[in-house]
A and B are shown apart, each in its own frame.
Chain A
Amino acid sequence: MSRLQVRSIAIFLLAILSIMGVILDQTDRLRPVEDMALYLISPLQRAISRSINQGSSFLQAMHELGSLRAKNEELQDLVDRLMSENVRLREAEIENVTLREQLDFKRANPTYDLLSAEVIGRDPTSLLRYLTIDRGAHDGLTEGMPVVTAAGLVGQVSEVNAHSAKVLLVTDASSSVSALIQNSRATGIVQGEIGRGPVMRYIQQGESVNVGDMVLTSGLGGNFPKRLVIGQVTAVRQRDIEMFQEAEIRPAVDFNRLEMVLVIIGFRSLERANEGR
């Protein structure tokens, strides 16, 4: 048989099979064969379908990655701006609280002429206790002016430049402030000590000094106004063989956190007043 004849017979047989398939399908007789074929083909179908789906998801993700990255950067910028804004608002809130305290202090002491100043530096050595503030001679400052906060006495202006000044703190070893115990009215001198808090000295034996007593400026000597809070007694050193008692004091002001102070510019110490004559 020639090739042409074989091909013709094959086509004829396939045609007969197709017609028979249509007839059998109509009568539902082809179902077992279909089931068998699908049973064999469906796992392959499933595997190919899954791969296609995964591939499609991957391509989709790659496509979205670019836009997600841009979105992420945009959101990060927003977070950064909001955090910065939050910090700024928090600072404004803290400044508001400090200024309110200063205003309250001003209202409680209407006779004082007060000038607000910012602390811009601290003594660079551990041996001394000074602050540098951003007010100077151009703002009307002179040496000897007391420096306070709403909490209490900070110290005294010791050196004045054109636009800045140095403040000797009450905790410095060279600082001396005439003081009294609020309850008993016992008088003494508050002096700073290196490495620890100030101490009130030269308190007469027999005077009542107790832990927790408030210590105020007495105004004696004329270097500080009266009744400025210095601190609170934390310990009493009393020995019968000594002429005087001493009291350790915790300052009312937290010097480590000091950011703004008030200078009593209307007050002129007696020492400066005498020098001016």
Chain B
Amino acid sequence: MQSTVIPHLAIGWVKPDLMLLVVISWSILRGTREGIVWGLVGGIALDLLSGAPFGVFALAMALVSLLTGLGEINVFRTNVALPLATISLATIAYNLVSLFLLQASGWPIDWGDSLLRIILPTTILNALLMPLVYRSLRWLHRRTGREEMSW
């Protein structure tokens, strides 16, 4: 879907990162271990479809989901602010790590332009879509995961 449907939702150069949204949401809900696994799986899928050197997005996705998964112990997981804040930071971190790895692979990178024209608009788009994605996955998590205490 990321390579066929999502490009049609692009605004200019910028399109939402559906894979990142799913991986980050799952990391928040299920923690570090599952987060890294799905981060690697998602990243490898992106590497296969992308023209970037293989491994760039797998590494970036795994790193970001590892950091996000540490938030699983947070008891305010049902709070809407946590996913929004997490996806915003994760989008910035993921894109910065990706750009760093691309530059290390020989890609010419203009950091200023990339930040202003790609990273920040993508962050806003991802934040707008996060409530929808997170709620859907939380429903799935409740169906398939551990029971949560309710007050």
Report chain A residues within 8 Å CB of B17: 125-126
> Given A173-B109, A174-B108, A256-B10, are A123 and B114 neighbors across the interface (CB < 8 Å)?
no
Report chain B residues within 8 Å CB of A126: 10, 13-15, 17, 118, 122
Q: Known A-B contacts: A124-B50, A173-B107. Give 8 more (CB < 8 A).
A: A121-B4, A123-B49, A126-B10, A126-B122, A127-B99, A130-B51, A168-B51, A191-B108
* B-contacting 9-mer, from A1-9, A192-200, A260-268: A192-200
CB<8 Å pairs between A and B, sample of 17: A121-B4, A122-B3, A123-B49, A123-B50, A127-B95, A127-B118, A128-B50, A158-B51, A159-B51, A173-B107, A173-B108, A174-B107, A191-B108, A193-B110, A194-B109, A195-B113, A196-B113
Q: Which residues of B contact A (CB under 8 A)?
A: 2-4, 6-7, 10, 12-15, 17, 19, 46, 49-52, 57, 95, 98-99, 102, 106-110, 113-114, 116-118, 122
Interface hub of A125, A128, A195 (most chain B Cβ within 10 A): A125
Would you give the shortest CB distance from A159 to chain B, in whole angstroms?
7
Would you give the shortest CB distance from A174 to chain B, in whole angstroms?
5
- With A and B bound together, what is the CA distance between A193 and B111 in angstroms? 11
B118 x A195 contact (CB < 8 A): yes
Would you give the shortest CB distance from A131 to chain B, in whole angstroms?
9
Chain B minimum-CB-distance residue to A124: B2
B50 x A130 contact (CB < 8 A): yes
Report chain A residues within 8 Å CB of B2: 124
- With A and B bound together, what is the CA distance between A125 and B117 in angstroms? 13
B113 x A125 contact (CB < 8 A): no
Q: State which of A121, A122, A127, A196 has its C-beta within 8 Å of the C-beta of B102.
A: A127
Report chain A residues within 8 Å CB of B117: 194-196
Would you give the shortest CB distance from B117 to chain A, in whole angstroms?
3
Q: Find residues 169-189 in chain A having any chain B CB closer than 8 Å to their own CB.
A: 172-174
